[in-house]
A and B are shown apart, each in its own frame.
With several copies, the nearest count.
Chain A
Amino acid sequence: MTRAVISSGPMPGTEPTMHMDMATDLAGILMPSPVLTASGCAAAGRELDQFFDITQIGAVVTKSVMLQPRSGRPTPRMAETPSGMLNSIGLQGPGIDRFLEHDLSWLDERGARTIVSIAGRTVDEYAKLAARLRTAPGVDGIEVNISCPNVEDRGQVFACDPTAAANVLQAVRRNSDPRMPIFAKLSPDVTDIVGVAESVVRAGATGVSVINTLLGMVINPDTMRPHLAGITGGLSGPAIRPVAVRCVWQIRKAFPDLPIIGMGGIRSGLDALEFILAGADAVSVGTVVFHDPSSPMRIHEELEQALVERGFATVAEAVGYAHRGADPVDQEDDLDFISE
């Protein structure tokens, strides 16, 4: 792959305190770091700005916003699971109008780069959200959360159907500035994530964000009922990291030049490096923010260190580096067993 050309190996003896330029160009968004927040895990940046300077990370990806205010689901909305958690928030939020007035304007004034995540219940809602964003100042990119049920199609989740996913992305593309970077956020709960990626890219997505949570559930041993009021919830955190890395790998393999934001259980700079080597241009930190509110900045620093130690001069050099060279095993992979 052409993105991942590097000739020099790790430089032994590199000073552990050396710095490098972490500047990242994500589909035209120029950022000082490839480390972003994950949608729904950073609200609209204000709270995290207490713990680190949010203008120093790549971008704030805001909680998915809908057209109207939304109360979300009843509590309990979360359960801790081994190395992860389930959530079932139900996209509680203020609605696009108040979001623009109250949240986006603050982010803009603060000088943070912002990727606005949007969610709808119909293709038309996505279209309207994109149209509202078109005139709003301070939008550096749009992330389209398609892990929502389509109320016009028996609640079938957009992200689980390549055609429905494409319809959403097409509607968002048509209603956005043509230069606006648009990322389709993909669900891992599908048989063929590369197929969904292909479909949304054809429909006009500039890039993809992978992955959203996995559908999971916990039964409470005391009540002997599902623990979450919403019954099922989204599984996130380090537990899902191997699934997320695999999804990034597969998509990068199929699309050597597609901008990819990778996420799923990133806890350290080495975890972030794993995603970048697998093919992510940038990474989002989600659940681990709950564990460590300073983590996006810490991960930025640890990643910088890890890249320097390995002799990379830019972040871009490391993107997809794990795909380098011929790979005989990989060739026969499809004809061998993918799972025991």
Chain B
Amino acid sequence: MVPVQVKGEVLDMRRVGAYHVLSLTAPGITDITRPGHFVTLGIGGEESSMVLRRAFAIHQVQSRGVYGGTLDVVIGVHGKGTRWLSERRRHDVIDIVGPLGRPFVLPKERVACVLIGGGYGSAPLFMLAEQLRERGCRVDVVVGASTEEKLFGVLDLKRLASTLTITTDDGSLGEHGRVTDVLPALMDRVDAGVVYACGPMGMLQAVAELATERRTYSQCAVEEAMACGIGVCMTCVVPVIGEDGVTRMLRSCVEGPVFRGDRVRWADVGTIPPDTLGAPEQGGH
């Protein structure tokens, strides 16, 4: 899979709850996209003061049709770049690079899969759910958010999943609480073989720890601030334990964003654990 850089045309921009769903033409990208891939978008036009691209999980792709491949991303307005994006209109042109990153790994066997999405983190789970079902896997989905309008795609996910469980911190929809409150029971009930998660770091940590405790294989898509998105700048690192037991600071844009949940040192994210390869304390430098 080789990422490409293309000019995409805005086909549609619509509000869904607290989010904006942006549909773009993306010739050359959609054919090779797999669930968990992301794109980066150029921001603010030619004379923009914002020099860095913004990363978004690919939500959906439509490979055929008159536009030769289109994709959707789900945008939560956070700062000035996402605000600018949310103001784009039909026919505006946006620079796209993708597909980027390592996608979710799909099981060879027909195991039961539990998919967990926090906020807009449910966006990449749609494609994942579809492909898992095509392989004959049972798919159960849990989505959570602080409040109802920050849930994304509840209706569609209901259609894609055997069961959909919803949690909100304020109880405005579904269970009152967090995704991890309902996860253990669900994992037991369906005899989960794999857990997939995408959402805020805190949620990923909790989900991964739960899965690891229960010796269930987990795959988590992390979100670290990225300057380049293509592996050349080293801004997006997280501490990950390798096959050899050694912790390294891995680039989440190319070695992630999807990591095995039991390999990421969640509690140490934002630090350099002292036993990391090349850490300052080690080896005297």
Are chains A and B touching directly in their complex (CB below 8 angstroms)? Answer: yes
Choose, from B18-26, B61-69, B229-237, the stretch at the interface: B229-237
Assuming the contacts A71-B279, A95-B278, A238-B51, asked whether A77 and B234 have C-beta atoms less than 8 A apart, the reply is yes
Give chain B residues whose Cβ lies under 8 Å from the Cβ of A288. Answer: 51
Choose, from B9-17, B107-115, B266-274, the stretch at the interface: B266-274
How many of chain B's residues touch chain A, expressed as a range? 35 or more
CA distance A63 to B278 in the complex (A): 16
B147 within 8 A of A: no
Give chain A residues whose Cβ lies under 8 Å from the Cβ of B229. Answer: 290
Contact for A47 among B95, B231, B283, CB less than 8 A: B231
**Binary interface encoding of chain A residues 68-102 relative to chain B, with 1 for a CB under 8 A from any of its CBs, else 0:** 11111111111010111101010011010000000
Taking CB atoms and an 8 Å cut-off, the chain B residues in 253-272 that contact chain A are 254, 269-272
A293 touches B231 (CB 8 A): no
Q: Which B residue sits closest to A46, measured CB to CB?
A: B231
For the complex formed, measure the closest distance between the CB of B49 and the CB atoms of chain A, giving whole angstroms.
5
Contact for A43 among B231, B237, B280, CB less than 8 A: B231
Taking CB atoms and an 8 Å cut-off, the chain A residues in 295-340 that contact chain B are 332, 336
B206 within 8 A of A: no
Give chain B residues whose Cβ lies under 8 Å from the Cβ of A287. Answer: 51
How many of chain A's residues touch chain B, expressed as a range? 35 or more
Interface centre among A50, A66, A84 (most CB of B within 10 A): A50
A84 touches B51 (CB 8 A): yes
B153 within 8 A of A: no
Taking CB atoms and an 8 Å cut-off, the chain B residues in 201-247 that contact chain A are 224-225, 227-238
B76 within 8 A of A: no
CA distance A72 to B250 in the complex (A): 11
**Binary interface encoding of chain A residues 253-279 relative to chain B, with 1 for a CB under 8 A from any of its CBs, else 0:** 000000000000000000000000000
A48 within 8 A of B: yes
A40 within 8 A of B: yes
B51 touches A237 (CB 8 A): yes
Give chain B residues whose Cβ lies under 8 Å from the Cβ of A74. Answer: 270-272
CA distance A72 to B224 in the complex (A): 16
Give chain A residues whose Cβ lies under 8 Å from the Cβ of B185. Answer: none
A289 touches B232 (CB 8 A): yes
B277 touches A89 (CB 8 A): no
Give chain A residues whose Cβ lies under 8 Å from the Cβ of B248. Answer: 71
CA distance A74 to B271 in the complex (A): 5
Contact for B272 among A41, A42, A73, A83, CB less than 8 A: A73
Assuming the contacts A71-B277, A85-B51, asked whether A40 and B233 have C-beta atoms less than 8 A apart, the reply is yes
Q: Which A residue sits closest to B279, measured CB to CB?
A: A71
Give chain A residues whose Cβ lies under 8 Å from the Cβ of B279. Answer: 71
A161 within 8 A of B: no
Interface centre among B97, B231, B238, B249 (most CB of A within 10 A): B249
Give chain A residues whose Cβ lies under 8 Å from the Cβ of B238. Answer: 75
B235 touches A332 (CB 8 A): no
**Binary interface encoding of chain A residues 218-256 relative to chain B, with 1 for a CB under 8 A from any of its CBs, else 0:** 000000000001000000011000000000000000000
Interface centre among A73, A78, A93 (most CB of B within 10 A): A78
Give chain B residues whose Cβ lies under 8 Å from the Cβ of A289. Answer: 228, 232
Q: Which B residue sits closest to A48, measured CB to CB?
A: B232
For the complex formed, measure the closest distance between the CB of A83 and the CB atoms of chain B, giving whole angstroms.
5
Assuming the contacts A69-B278, A71-B280, asked whether A50 and B2 have C-beta atoms less than 8 A apart, the reply is yes
B49 touches A78 (CB 8 A): no
For the complex formed, measure the closest distance between the CB of B80 and the CB atoms of chain A, giving whole angstroms.
9
Give chain B residues whose Cβ lies under 8 Å from the Cβ of A78. Answer: 52, 225, 227, 233, 235
Give chain A residues whose Cβ lies under 8 Å from the Cβ of B97. Answer: 293
Closest 4 CB pairs of A and B: A69-B278, A71-B278, A290-B228, A70-B278
Given A50-B3, A238-B51, 4 further pairs, Cβ under 8 A: A43-B234, A47-B230, A287-B51, A289-B228
Which B residues are within 8 Å of any A CB, using their own CB? Answer: 2-5, 42, 49-53, 95, 97, 224-225, 227-238, 248-249, 254, 269-272, 276-280, 283, 285
16 contacts between A and B (CB under 8 A): A48-B230, A48-B232, A51-B4, A63-B234, A69-B278, A71-B278, A71-B280, A72-B249, A77-B235, A82-B49, A85-B51, A87-B227, A89-B235, A290-B52, A291-B42, A293-B5
